[in-house]
Amino acid sequence: MRALHVPAAGQAPQLAELPIPEVTDGQVLIRVKAAGLNPLDNGVAAGALTGMLPHEYPLILGRDAAGVVEAVGAGVEHVQPGDEVIGHVLLAPPIRQGTLAEFALLPAEAVALKPAGLSFAAAAALPLAGAAAVATIDAVDAQPGQVVLVNGATGGVGSFAVQLLAARGVTVVATGTATDAERLSQLGATTVVDHTGEPVAEQVRAVYPDGVDALIDLASTDAATAPLGAVRKGGRVAALSSVAGLEDALAEAGLTGGGLLARAAREVTGPLAEQAADGSLAVDVTTVLPFDRATEGLAALAAGHARGKTVITIQD
Ligand SMILES: NC(=O)c1ccc[n+]([C@@H]2O[C@H](COP(=O)([O-])OP(=O)(O)OC[C@H]3O[C@@H](n4cnc5c(N)ncnc54)[C@H](OP(=O)(O)O)[C@@H]3O)[C@@H](O)[C@H]2O)c1
């Protein structure tokens, strides 16, 4: 099968032939139709997780996919060969399997049936970003009537977080440039704050002088520049990227929360796929590329200015 993989530690990814993985207990082998990209894919390719989890090579890139079940391992009962599914390769030792391949081996706990009304491309865009949006919303315990700031709202996770918050009856303040305002409003944002202008916290306080109830931060890397000042005392913060000094800064500001790791298990992705199929959740796929241009998609994502999701078409 063709797979975009890192042949050995430190080497550049290449699209070349590898053996089809053999299905093992508790695993599902799928014929991949489409694979969604995430910033994590670039991190894995660069070896960013080598200190955390063992890696085995050749290492196939990509975590999200949609496709058709080819075979199931012992103990897998909720899907069978021929089913159309959406799935994710959970972060577990060793890091080796991936979805940027004609066939992918996925843990059964992260494989859900794909509703018929959802395209493979939209389904492939959902798992990690959708699950991460749900995880951050749960972490800040966003309630109807509250105001939540989503910092980094324009990318993959933000596109889902803004919609899911608005659907809960939460007032959403989203960051984005002037050209993003219309798109973010359509997704459900009430106020759009330009993060390339004045400090975000100041702009938010100009509209909400008492501060917002919570911050979902998808963009900050340092607490010193994170818009913590937008949040009222006692408010909550959930961050997805690694934010230096966050714990101390939260304590100092009288806020609670911290960083978290999302898990795209089927209990989360299945219901999101149903919502996407019934039209209550839009999957904002902004770029679709053929398999032989997957590295272009990864490079664009690495540049840090994604809008919505990028999906790679693997097989017809
Ligand atoms: N912990 C987990 O489980 C988990 C899961 C999923 C994702 N993540 C992480 O969460 C982050 C977001 O993921 P994603 O998939 O949404 O990434 P993405 O699709 O690459 O989007 C990132 C967005 O952040 C915006 N941004 C960058 N710097 C900003 C700033 N200073 N202020 C406001 N916005 C800014 C970018 O827009 P501009 O061009 O306007 O800057 C871009 O739209 C990534 O770091 C990812 O690795 C973690």
Return the SS3 of 23. coil
Distance between CA atoms of residues 9 and 76, nearest Å: 32
Ligand 1 in contact with 219 (CB < 6 A)? yes
> Is 158 near ligand 1, meaning CB less than 6 Å away?
yes
Task: Please name the residues in contact with 272: beta carbons below 8 A apart, sequence gap of 6 or more.
Answer: 126, 130, 131, 134, 160, 281
* Average pLDDT of the segment spanning 30-50: 97
Residue whose entry in the numeric block shows the structure tokens 């989890």: 53
Q: Which ligand 1 atom is the nearest neighbour of the CA of 262?
A: 3
Rounded mean pLDDT of the chain?
97
Q: Calculate the alpha carbon distances from 248 to 27, 137, 226, 241 in Å.
A: 41, 22, 13, 16
Name the band, by pLDDT with cuts 50, 70 and 90, for residue 306.
confident
Decide whether any atom of ligand 1 lies within 6 Å of the 310 Cβ: no
Cβ(114)–Cβ(78) below 8 Å: no
Nearest CA owner, ligand 1 atom 33: 152
Verify whether ligand 1 is closer than 6 Å to residue 261 (CB atom). yes
Model pLDDT for residues 76-127, shown as the tens digit of each residue: 999 999 999 999 999 999 999 999 999 999 999 999 999 999 999 999 999 9
C-alpha closest to that of 316 among 38, 64, 68, 69: 68
Distance of CA 119 from the midpoint of ligand 1 (Å):
24
pTM listed for this prediction: 0.97
What is the number of other CB atoms lying within 10 angstroms of the CB of residue 58? 17
Average of pLDDT values for 34-60? 96
Residues 41-61, mean pLDDT to the nearest whole number: 96
Given a cut of 90, is residue 13 above it in pLDDT? Answer: yes
**Residue-level pLDDT at 241:** 84
Domains annotated for the chain, with CATH where assigned, are 2-126+283-313 (3.90.180.10), 129-259 (3.40.50.720)
pLDDT above 90 (res 245): yes
Confidence at residue 163, expressed as pLDDT on a 0 to 100 scale: 98
Any ligand 1 atom below 6 A from CB of 40: yes
The mean per-residue pLDDT over the stretch 273-297 comes to 97
Asked if residue 138 has pLDDT above 90, the reply is: yes
What is the rounded average pLDDT of the residues 165-181? 97
Of 106, 28, 21, 110, whose CA–CA distance to 58 is shortest?
Answer: 21
Q: Is 154 in the pocket of ligand 1 (CB under 6 A)?
A: yes
DSSP 143-196: -TT-EEEEETTTSHHHHHHHHHHHHTT-EEEEE--GGGHHHHHHHT-SEEE-TT
Ligand 1 lined by 305 (C-beta under 6 Å): yes
Q: Assess whether pLDDT exceeds 90 at residue 316.
A: no
Distance 306 CA to ligand 1 centre (A): 8
Averaged pLDDT, 141-152: 98
Nearest CA to ligand 1 atom 8: 240
Q: What is the pLDDT of residue 198?
A: 96
